Structure 1
């Protein structure tokens, strides 16, 4: 394999590269993040019976095929005990998708696996799982905290899956296999983006990121860590670009911050975090990000443009405030000439009269 030359110029923050898709100019695609409340979502769709102890209500339709047995599935989910409405798990909050091999799942996830096997990629659903296919008679009072015989509600989204006959999980892969699988997902995401399938592209990027979780990255060093970051960081940046277009700015900031945790001088991450912060009205923080990005990519026209936009915004705000304060206090009153007091006038007249009398008497004496 031809070695990459160190002196090769890096792509600028506002430009495309082979591995990083810039989504700011893409058409808008509707996509809603999951609800942020602590209570299970209210769903009005038809109830589908998957098993005697498992039912499903679709919240968002998916696409393509359903995973077969031994497929490696990547999912996000939230879980509540139905009786107490206690939320005991949330992978969206932890930003760590669950990897589940259908047919090889843990006993307490048997009901969840039944639901996942009925879903398509991108589908989001509410599952009701009876205690017999959950944590059973005993429950789990360590982690998660689930009481005995507790029925469970899952809000689950199937990000995507890998069809593997042997059901090979990430933990069974070599370092090269995991990085290679993540890279293929990233390239699939780039291809989907070029077809303007933005949500599907995001799912591929998220699956790629799932291959390189914190537990995996913690074990890497040297060239293997560099290889993994060369795939992982572009996926986070591409996710951020898509999320900005979807107006999900807080999530975009989160992905950029992950990259900056590894490379605080990354101009692309600074640029995209600045865009998200600017959209949220955090102009001072956005200006700081753009200024840092310009330091590392001084020729980037996109960064200069964003700084100019912020400067024009500040000027407009200043003019508006000036008009507001002018209206509050009104124009400065003009100084009016003071009228002389009549007492002063009379006194001056008397002095003048006395002076003339004194002068006249002196002339007569002489």
Structure 2
């Protein structure tokens, strides 16, 4: 991007098409999620998708809707309507769910109908009748889902792949999964450069979904290196978006995932330091920047951030000094001593008697 210094993980000041730059870019605000304690209150129009499925839009999406056999990536929370009990929350697990439209599990039929009528980035409240949910028997996996329970879903469709054959991640080869993730990463970079941060994060999150823990644990050697070469930049690019959206805690989490794999990754240290500095965690930020400078001593961006922290600390010290200076007021001035004439008279008298005594003694000698 123009007028921006790029911070490289090993060789600063070189271009890296895999990762995005955030320094000196304008901040925008993202929309926070519902707190998840209960089903969200939505007053938008109710759209009937099926006899047993309705939808209310909470946030508009963009683009097309998925077609049959599309591989969809989504997050959702689920409540039983009668008890308002939340029995599943994929946001807590920080791992998107994958549904292949037309090949979903039976208990997800109603959810799939809702998802197939959503656009990428859309968030909606779905009402699913028990016939298209967990049925007459309820759920064995979720004991709190009673028989014949209608379900409420808060769903966000992150995005989807138009794989016409309906090929799920588990059916792909290693090369296919890494390739699919890399395409999503590149799409995310395009959105980022267009300042479409939410769309960019959706692409990065889908790319990361292809590189889940269950997949990474099976890899070693060159295949693991290939996967990390896609996965780690996606986490760093997610952090870049989150910093611009002022969602600093989430940005720190993305950087920490990379540092768990590569504790000396300069970009991860730098971006985590920036997020921590924005949160006022100056000691932790300084530690990250100092470690980053150890591996990139000539990088100007790191030096600038350390200088800003030093100036911040100096300003805080001066402010505290001024505050505490006036708390107890100025030190009291010493009171002038009062002249005690009686003491002065006795001192004069003693001195006179001593002089007379010395004179008489001198005469006697």
Q: Is the 8 A contact 2:36 2:77 kept in 1?
A: no
For residue 328 of structure 1, what is the aligned residue in structure 2? 327
Aligned-pair CA distance for 1:128: 1.1
2: distance between equivalents of 1:270 and 1:91? 28
Could you report, residue by residue, the CA deviation over 1:298-328 in whole angstroms, capped at 9, with x for unpaired residues?
Answer: 1111111111111111111111111111111
Higher mean C-alpha displacement, 328-337 vs 224-233: 328-337
Q: Is the 8 A contact 1:24 1:242 kept in 2?
A: no
Q: Is the 8 A contact 1:81 1:151 kept in 2?
A: yes
2: distance between equivalents of 1:321 and 1:29? 32
Q: Is the 8 A contact 1:141 1:147 kept in 2?
A: no
Structure 1, unpaired ranges of 5+: 1-7
2: distance between equivalents of 1:320 and 1:73? 53
Tell whether 2:356 aligns with 1:357: yes
Aligned-pair CA distance for 1:29: 4.0
Aligned-pair CA distance for 1:11: 4.0
Q: State the Cα RMSD in Å.
A: 2.0
- The 3-state SS of whatever aligns with 1:331 is coil
For residue 282 of structure 2, what is the aligned residue in structure 1? 283
Count of aligned pairs: 358
For residue 152 of structure 2, what is the aligned residue in structure 1? 153
For residue 4 of structure 2, what is the aligned residue in structure 1? none
Higher mean C-alpha displacement, 342-351 vs 231-240: 342-351
2: distance between equivalents of 1:181 and 1:95? 20
Structure 2, unpaired ranges of 5+: 1-7
Could you report, residue by residue, the CA deviation over 1:100-121 in whole angstroms, capped at 9, with x for unpaired residues?
Answer: 0001000111111011000011
For residue 226 of structure 2, what is the aligned residue in structure 1? 227
2: distance between equivalents of 1:28 and 1:281? 17
Q: Is the 8 A contact 2:9 2:265 kept in 1?
A: no
TM-score by length of structure 2 reads 0.93
For residue 255 of structure 2, what is the aligned residue in structure 1? 256
1: distance between equivalents of 2:33 and 2:107? 24
2: distance between equivalents of 1:134 and 1:355? 117
2: distance between equivalents of 1:53 and 1:141? 22
Aligned-pair CA distance for 1:62: 0.7
Structure 1 residues 155 and 214, CA, compared in 2 at 3 Å: closer, same or farther? same
- The 3-state SS of whatever aligns with 1:63 is coil
Structure 1 residues 136 and 343, CA, compared in 2 at 3 Å: closer, same or farther? farther
Structure 1 residues 72 and 144, CA, compared in 2 at 3 Å: closer, same or farther? farther
For residue 10 of structure 1, what is the aligned residue in structure 2? 10
Q: How does 1:112-191 map to 2 (within 5 A)?
A: 112-143=111-142, 145-191=144-190
Q: How does 1:1-366 map to 2 (within 5 A)?
A: 10-12=10-12, 16-143=15-142, 145-339=144-338, 341-359=340-358, 361=360
Structure 1 residues 195 and 363, CA, compared in 2 at 3 Å: closer, same or farther? closer
2: distance between equivalents of 1:87 and 1:15? 49
Structure 1 residues 46 and 185, CA, compared in 2 at 3 Å: closer, same or farther? same
Q: Is the 8 A contact 1:159 1:203 kept in 2?
A: yes
Higher mean C-alpha displacement, 271-280 vs 19-28: 19-28
- The 3-state SS of whatever aligns with 2:76 is strand
Could you report, residue by residue, the CA deviation over 1:74-96 in whole angstroms, capped at 9, with x for unpaired residues?
Answer: 11111112222222211112110
TM-score by length of structure 1 reads 0.92
- The 3-state SS of whatever aligns with 2:317 is helix
Aligned-pair CA distance for 1:359: 4.6
- The 3-state SS of whatever aligns with 1:80 is strand
